[in-house]
Chain A
Amino acid sequence: MDPFTLGFWLVSLILFALAWFRRREDTVRAMKKSKAMMGNMLGEIVAVILLIGLVLSFIPPETIRTLLGSDHTAISTVVAAIVGSITLIPAFVAFPLVGSLVNAGASIVPAAAFLTTLTMVGIATFPLEKRAFGTRFALTRNAVSFTAAIVIAIFMGVIL
């Protein structure tokens, strides 16, 4: 568990204890509301996670390496952004992978596009986002994020 998650546990447990002992009735009502909001999310999260595992076993890191290292920067940037949107790779795998590519001479534009869509655009988590906020919001946010990732990547290329 990283320190941030640990800190979150501590703070939320302390505040929750405070709520529980000071305002029992409100807390019970709030817990019901929270439960309703998280609703069936857990089942869907488990499903999404199992699907990600499935996708990853068919798109191994080596494939991503080939895609990001292509000579056609424009094409590989768009492809990298799309791959980043579909997959969800832990940061401790993604950064070394992309780092080794860039150090080997690959363009940083597709690298930046990939790293940005990896976390900001979520096709895998789309069903969850749709359930929480509605289709229209989920579609708009992901489309805007995808465009932003490409723009960020281009700026990275211009600046660095």
Chain B
Amino acid sequence: MKTEPLSGHFNWQRFLKKNKLLAGTLTLYLILFLFLPSKAESALHNSLYYLAEMAEIMPVVFFLTTIIEVFVPQKVIVKHLGESSGLRGNLLALLLGSFSAGPIYAAFPVCKMLRSKGAGISNITIILSAWAVVKVPMLITEAKFLGPTFMITRWILTVIAILIMGRLTERLLKNHPERSLT
């Protein structure tokens, strides 16, 4: 999707090569539209909510990763979120992940940027998990429909689990440093 040759027309071959998944999905939709148009329509309708969600959050993610790169020096990240930042680093990661917005894929570029500046695997895992599960608007909805006791119990258990998961993931990946994280 990067650039097409300046003079020539749109380079379809290159676009398809770089977007195999999208090409496959669009083909699937085309087939569905031909044979089961009502199913294709409802599938497209289902996707609209997520497309809107993506449009709301991805520009912010772009700004955020840029801001981290400009304003947060590598030293600070290594010190507070690096491999040797310990429990304090884990708690900071938990806090950062909890004050987030949008679906888990929005966290991928942010965490990749943090990783490139020296954040540890355990803290990356904690931010990703907290980003996915611990969200204030979500907790409010959960309390409304399943009761505050259910919500608080699940929240406490999840937070404990996330902290353990960070350590566990780091330990599991430590044995294979050559293929762990890019």
Contact = CB atoms under 8 A, between A and B. Distances in A.
Contacts of B157: 152, 155-156
Nearest to A29: B69
A112 B24 CA distance: 34
A42 interface: yes
A99 to B, nearest CB: 3
Nearest to B158: A152
A1 B56 contact: yes
Interface string A128-157: 110011111100110011001001100110
Contact of B150 (A30, A50, A108, A141): A108
Contact of A46 (B51, B63, B138): B51
A105 interface: no
Interface in A1-38: 1-5, 7-9, 12-13, 15-16, 19, 23, 26-27, 29-31, 33-35, 37-38
Contact of A53 (B24, B47, B150): B47
Interface string B163-174: 011001100110
Contact of A99 (B32, B45, B146, B154): B146
Contact of B138 (A19, A37, A91, A133): A91
Contacts of A112: 150, 154
- Interface of chain A, main secondary structure: helix
A62 B18 CA distance: 37
A136 B173 CA distance: 8
B112 A44 contact: no
A90 B165 CA distance: 24
A54 B43 contact: yes
B137 A3 contact: yes
Contact of B1 (A31, A42, A119, A135): A42
B102 interface: yes
B109 A40 contact: no
B154 A49 contact: no
A141 B29 CA distance: 31
20 contacts: A2-B101, A9-B60, A19-B70, A31-B62, A31-B66, A33-B66, A34-B66, A38-B61, A38-B65, A40-B1, A44-B19, A45-B54, A45-B58, A51-B28, A91-B138, A99-B145, A120-B133, A144-B172, A148-B161, A148-B162
What are the 8 A-B residue pairs with the smallest beta carbon separation, nearest first?
A: A53-B47, A99-B145, A30-B69, A53-B46, A47-B22, A12-B63, A57-B43, A47-B21
